[in-house]
Amino acid sequence: MPARTMNWDALTSTLIGALITYSAILLTQAMDMWKRKRTHDTLIQSLLHALQEEVESLLEMARVNAPSVEDIPDGKPYERLFSARQDYFTVYHANAALVMQIKHPELRRSIFKTYLRAKGLLDTVSMNRLYLERFHYLQSTFLKTKDPTAKAASENYREMLIQIAAQLRTADGEFRNAATRLVEQISAQLDGQPTRLSIKTARLNALNRIRG
């Protein structure tokens, strides 16, 4: 009988030790998951801030360089030269995989749509520039040589430039609308996620109220 009691006590101690160890493992895993989630949420928040700044910069660039509806009267080409040769989507291209991890599907769709509209606008501006340069070259050639084929070709390019101008009006409006909506969506999302600074400020305000 004493031997059996000793064995039961040893088994109980072993089970309690195993339970404590298992609980510690679960707690450690839970803390690791919480830390990873917190890090991921902070990363997403930083990404949204960066995307917001990039899109706002694109809007400003469009305002300064791209045509507005008033700049392109119906039936006339858009004759401002603008070179779109660099990568204006640095944040987006560097974090495309992370964008896919944004939880809100509507916000993800707005991000994709906005950058697609931006690319469409830049591509149309670039195409307009190429056709405009060719048009000016043909005009210059005709003035120098009086070659009727150069005149006919320049008139054809002018007709194509008028069509591109209409596409520019559409592309510009679509981008501006999409980008403005995206900036508003990101602002709303960030407003719903208090930053460390806002939390610290709230605590200081609470302490000041208590002291006052």
Q: What is the pLDDT of residues 87-138, one digit of tens each?
A: 789 999 999 889 999 989 999 999 999 999 999 988 988 899 899 999 999 9
* 1 vs 125 pLDDT, higher one: 125
Separation in Å, CA 188 to CA 57, 110, 182, 185: 19, 13, 10, 5
The amino acid occupying position 123 is D
* 45 vs 203 pLDDT, higher one: 45
Look at residues 168, 162, 186, 207 and name the one whose alpha carbon lies nearest to residue 46. 186
Question: CA 16, 21, 27, 29 torsion: positive or negative?
Answer: negative
* 156 vs 18 pLDDT, higher one: 156
Question: For residues 54 and 52, what is the distance between their CA atoms, to the nearest angstrom?
Answer: 5
State if pTM tops 0.75.
no
So what's the pLDDT on residue 193? Answer: 57
Burial, 55: exposed, middle or buried (Cβ in 10 Å; 0-12, 13-18, 19+)? buried
pLDDT in tens, 136-154: 999 999 999 999 999 999 9
So what's the pLDDT on residue 36? Answer: 62
Q: Kindly tell me if the per-residue pLDDT of 210 is higher than 70.
A: no
So what's the pLDDT on residue 200? Answer: 43
Q: Kindly tell me if the per-residue pLDDT of 24 is higher than 80.
A: no
* 84 vs 204 pLDDT, higher one: 84
Question: For residues 30 and 189, what is the distance between their CA atoms, to the nearest angstrom?
Answer: 27
So what's the pLDDT on residue 30? Answer: 61
CB 51, CB 111: distance < 8 Å: yes
So what's the pLDDT on residue 205? Answer: 45
Residues 61-87 have a mean pLDDT of: 72
